[in-house]
Structure 1
Amino acid sequence: MVGSNDIERSKRFYNAVIAALGGGEATLNVAGSGHTRLFYRNEGGTNFIVSEPINDEPATVGNGSTVAFACNSPEQVELFHDTAVANGGTSIEDRPGPRESAMGTITLAYVRDPDGNKLCGIHIPA
């Protein structure tokens, strides 16, 4: 879950990014407190949620926090990155591409969403 200060802006951003990963649009949920949340689900049962903060304080980013999205290929990592940037995200760190790791060569892309939350598209070959 990540917080948002503008749920409609987040909906436009994440609907596009999640679609690039093969997912569908958000299901809108209004909590009993009146706060709006966006629920994204995939076939494996994983949830990704965007929420207005329940404590009514501004949404802030977590230092050292990154939400990673699994990608099916290096090309999908690139699509994740480019879609995020085209929809209000900011490219950060190195350009999307291969990185050496303990797991071998993986492909990564890092962006920040419009609220500043750090996101990663990652492909780890089988």
Structure 2
Amino acid sequence: MIDHISVGTNDIGRARTFYDAVLGGLGLRVLSSSERSADYGVSSILFSIETPHDGKPATSGNGTHIAFSAGGRAMVDGFYRTALAHGGTDAGPPGLRPEYDAHYYGAFVFDPDGNKIEVVTRSSK
């Protein structure tokens, strides 16, 4: 079982602007932050952004993505719009992905550092 996930950033301020907006729409909030990191969750940390501890530039993984669960299709649509409005770029607009599941409805974006983020619901609403 996964406890939490972290992705790297080269600009914590820019990343906070993006993730505060998109994760807030999913019900996650900042639980702690510093000039090097920010941790999001509900009652415990689920997701973090941070500058690399080794001092080298953060890079995104080709073929890697993180998927957040949404409560419905409207939440997926809202995430996508919010992500694009806050510095994200399109990696696959909201829509059904029947190759995964008949009710799989998701959207994909790249965050400002190039990390691929997905939001998905399996709800028919």
| Identical-pair percentage | 35
What are structure 2's unaligned runs of at least 5 residues?
A: 1-5
What are structure 1's unaligned runs of at least 5 residues?
A: 31-35
2:118 equivalent to 1:120: yes
One-letter identity of the residue aligned with 1:65: T
Paired residue total: 119
| Cα distance in 1 between the residues matched to 2:39 and 2:50 | 9
Contact 2:39 2:45 in 1 (8 A): no
SS of residue matched to 2:29: coil
Contact 2:30 2:38 in 1 (8 A): no
Give me the TM-score of the superposition, normalised by structure 1: 0.86
> What does the per-residue CA deviation read over 1:25-50, in whole Å, with 9 as the maximum and x for residues that have no partner?
352146xxxxx11100124x451010
Contact 1:29 1:39 in 2 (8 A): no
CA 1:26–1:17: 2 relative to 1, 3 Å:
farther
Aligned positions of 1:1-126 closer than 5 A: 1-29=6-34, 36-43=36-43, 45=44, 47-93=46-92, 95-125=93-123
Q: CA RMSD in A?
A: 1.7
Partner of 2:3: none
| Cα distance in 1 between the residues matched to 2:57 and 2:33 | 20
Shift of 1:124: 1.6
